[in-house]
Amino acid sequence: MAAPEPRGSVRGALCSLLLTLVVFSFACESCKMVIFNIPSKLEANKMVGKVDLKECLGSADLVRLSDSDFRVLDDGSVYTASAVELSDEKRSFTIWLSDTKRQTQKEITVLLEHQKKVLRKRHLKETVLRRSKRRWAPIPCSMQENSLGPFPLLLQQVQSDAAQNYTIFYSISGRGVDQEPLNLFFIDRDTGNLYCTRPVDREEYDVFDLIAYASTADGYSADLPLPLPIRVEDENDNYPIFTEAIYNFEVPESSRIGTTVGVVCATDRDEPDTMHTRLKYSILEQRPRSPGLFSVHPSTGVITTVSPYLDREVVDKYSLIMKVQDMDGQFFGLIGTSTCIITVKDSNDNVPTFKQSAYEASVEENTVNVEILRISIEDKDLMNTANWRANFTILKGNENGHFKISTDKETNEGVLCVVKPLNYEENRQVILEIGVSNEAPFTRDVALRMATVNKALVTVRVRDQDEGPECSPAAQYVRIKENSAVGTKINGYKAYDTETRSSNGLRYKKLHDPKEWITIDELSGSIITSKTLDREVVTPRNDVYNVTVLAIDQGGRSCTGTLVVNIEDVNDNPPEILQNYLVICKPKMGYIDISAVDPDERIHGAPFYFSLANPSPETSRIWTLTKVNDTAARLSYWKNAAFQEYNVPITVKDRAGQSATKTLRVNLCDCDYPSQCLAASRSADVTLGKWAILAILLGVALLFSVLLTLVCGVVGARKKKCFPEDLAQQNLIISNTEAPGDDKVCSGNGFMTQTVNNSSQGFCGTLGSGVKNGGQETIELMKGGHQTLESCGGAGHHHTLDSCRGGHVDTDNCRYTYSEWHSFTQPRLGEDSVRGHTG
């Protein structure tokens, strides 16, 4: 099957349509003859066939036909210009090709033939040949968007090759037929004519992919399904629309030409990359109208400035009516509009100016943190912005730092304050030069126009006041020798009256004296020592002693100052050895170093001289001193010295001759580390107090009570069978395995009969074993008859109960645990303990 275009294309399913090219030889101006087999009737704008124009005359620039019923396209396609009907079986016409530049002409003869076919029905047993490869490829078909009809509108004709021999019925499917939008297309089942039933909007459906089917009367598919794409040709039916109804942009004032303000953008729903969507931007109107300050790029929509005279102080907002037109801006194109609001942002293009060139103010001397003047300025820039807020600066006249100027954030005024007291007697008038600028930097053009900062002069007059005495300088220094005699008088603190510049009439009082070492004369201010001054007790140790003094005039006004007493050192302290007790591990340590300190100044201190103080011959023989440095010496011993503690007297002397002697306890010890001997020494030094002795006596008394209880228990047991009723013939065996020692065995009469040593050699008998584990002894009582101790084989302290050579051992069930033993003895021990305490 074939689907030719509606503009004169040959129906793809023409019955038995055969294309035959027959080549004939003519004169030199003639090309090949072309023969087309066509039906007897053809509608207008139907394709007849195709000829090769380039092969005949490739340079032809003019093509003409001898028959007005036909027309030929540039690619050689031949179409009917009107309805054609062949009266006989043949018809011909000529195509002339001309090259006007070369004055060359050639012609092609086209012969049209018609063959009549007799159609018949297919018998049931007859098979129709189905070809997988078609002779005709489907030609794309198109229809105009929003077509006015008339409807149904014929689009094209579809025919199958099998229609030459059989009766064929046609059908279609796809979107627009049996899919949404339903029933938009239908096909004539007999002729294959394809129709559209109503207008189509391309923006909703741009193409319809239909499938055409050809089948015989009995439903047999005569050919494979044929794809029929129907493209909707776009019509310029959509206006371009801006993406926003109102655009808002900002641009700084005084911007340079070409500064980008913003970009406008529009969309068009028509087919892309066509004239219908080729947009052009322009500015319809600007308000205020003049002068024209903006332009827009016709293709990109970028708005830029075309004038450098944007001044916010003149106009702070502009409104542009933007236009966009499709068809590349041609007069017949569709138009859309939008509004663009451009706000002119403030720039610092106006300098702040003083309202006056000179100002005056006054202030009383000795006053601080007071406001003396407010300075107003004018600035045309936008209020409450960095371009408007002022920064004031004192350019000259404030070298001593008496003044400070700041900005009032509410009023934008300069506030001049005094932050350091002024002295009327020193300076009665101060002239300040004040400058002003903005927080934001000026624009480049303004900065170039301004050679200097805007300035104003402020004259500040200082008013006199009776200000009382002045303590100047605040700290005054005197020197006193250490250990000076009590009552020594020295010049003290001096203040003066600022009006008379003298000290007459002032009185002095002492406010603070850390050590109460001095008194002060009320009229003269002189100081008198009331105690002996000791430089070494001053804290911190910086040789100075501060006394706070109050000076008062006759009017009761006062000032305070500090009298710094510099205490001169004298050599009143001998050096002192730091160590008291020393340990020397012999022979690992051959010596030990000792050191000394002197609290006096360095001139009275090191180097120190160490020596043995009046040594005995024995001390001189064993101990020697050698110098290590200015403050240390090395104490060495004779190699044959005995291990013991020695008392070594050592004298140390400073450079001025002050000396002190100290006896050092030196422990010459057999050790590896001094800490070992120190621990042993501490143990040896332990002495018992009265409470410790009392505790020991009580423990001894308690032990005797326990022994007495045991003896009584053993005697009473002779008359009873089992414990606690019968304790006859029992032995108390205590075994302590914590450390080597003797095991004591008591006989039935309560007396010690034998000692069993660690080698387990001794008398034979019955031995109950007790193991001390973690400080707890296990004591067992074994009931027995006439038993003797027998030496058991094996070393150590673990003994077992065994048969003895001299008797029989009876070990019945009368074996008692520790808990039973404890329950029996504990009350008696408690009674004895109470008796012991009461006694």
What was the pLDDT predicted at 543? 64
Q: Looking at residues 91-104, what average pLDDT do you find?
A: 87
The residue among 787 and 79 whose pLDDT is bigger is 79
The candidate with the shortest Cα–Cα distance to 339, out of 280, 262, 276, is 262
Homologous superfamily (CATH) for 469-568: Cadherins (2.60.40.60)
pLDDT surpassing 90 at residue 322:
yes
Q: What is the pLDDT of residue 131?
A: 43
Domain covering 141-233 in this structure, CATH number: 2.60.40.60
- Is the confidence at residue 373, as pLDDT, over 50? yes
Pick the CATH number of 241-345 from 3.30.565.10, 2.60.40.60, 3.30.1360.10, 3.40.50.300: 2.60.40.60
Answer for the pair 403, 416: CB distance below 8 angstroms, yes or no. yes
Note the pLDDT of residue 716: 63
Task: Give percent of the chain above pLDDT 70.
Answer: 74
What is the average pLDDT across 153-174? 87
Q: Comparing C-alpha atoms, which of 292, 294, 238, 240 is closest to residue 265?
A: 240
Query: Amino acid identity of 719?
Result: K
788 pLDDT band, cuts 50/70/90, is very low
Q: Specify the pLDDT at position 715.
A: 65
> Is a pLDDT exceeding 50 seen at residue 191?
yes
Tokens representing residue 161 in the block: 């090759």
Query: Is pLDDT above 70 for 702?
Result: yes
Contact criterion met (CB below 8 Å) for 799 and 767: yes
Residue 569 has pLDDT above 90, yes or no: no
Q: For 353-463, CATH number?
A: 2.60.40.60
Cβ contacts of residue 164 below 8 Å, gap of 6+?
15, 16, 117, 119
Mean pLDDT value across residues 290-298 = 89
Please tell me the CATH code under which domain 34-114 is placed. Answer: 2.60.40.60
Quick one: pLDDT at residue 822? 53
Domain residue spans in the chain? 34-114, 141-233, 241-345, 353-463, 469-568, 576-676
| Highest-pLDDT range among 111-125, 216-230, 280-294, 672-686 | 280-294
Query: Does the pLDDT value for residue 464 go beyond 50?
Result: yes
Q: Give how far the C-alpha of residue 472 lies from the chain's centroid of Cα atoms, to the nearest Å.
A: 56
pLDDT the model gives residue 45: 82
- The dihedral region occupied by 682, where left means phi > 0, alpha psi between -120 and 50, and beta the remainder, is alpha
Least confident of 244-248, 332-336, 713-717, 814-818: 814-818
SS3 assignment for 561-619: EEEEEEEECCCCCCCEECCCEEEEECCCCCEEEEEEECCCCHHHCCCCEEEECCCCHHH
Instruction: Give me the pLDDT at residue 335, please.
Output: 95
Give yes or no on whether 34-114 and 576-676 have one common fold. yes
Please check whether residue 24 is in contact with residue 237, taking contact to mean a CB–CB distance below 8 angstroms: no
| Res. 484 pLDDT band, cuts 50 70 90 | confident
Closest listed residue to residue 536, CA positions, set 573, 491, 510, 566 = 573
Contacts of 361 (CB under 8 A, 6+ apart): 372, 373, 416, 458, 459, 460, 461
Q: Which CATH architecture fits 576-676?
A: Sandwich (2.60)
pLDDT confidence band for 825 (50 / 70 / 90)? low
Predicted TM-score (pTM) of the model is 0.41
Structure letter (DSSP) for residue 12: T
pLDDT at 747 over 50: no
Residues 335-340, mean pLDDT to the nearest whole number: 96
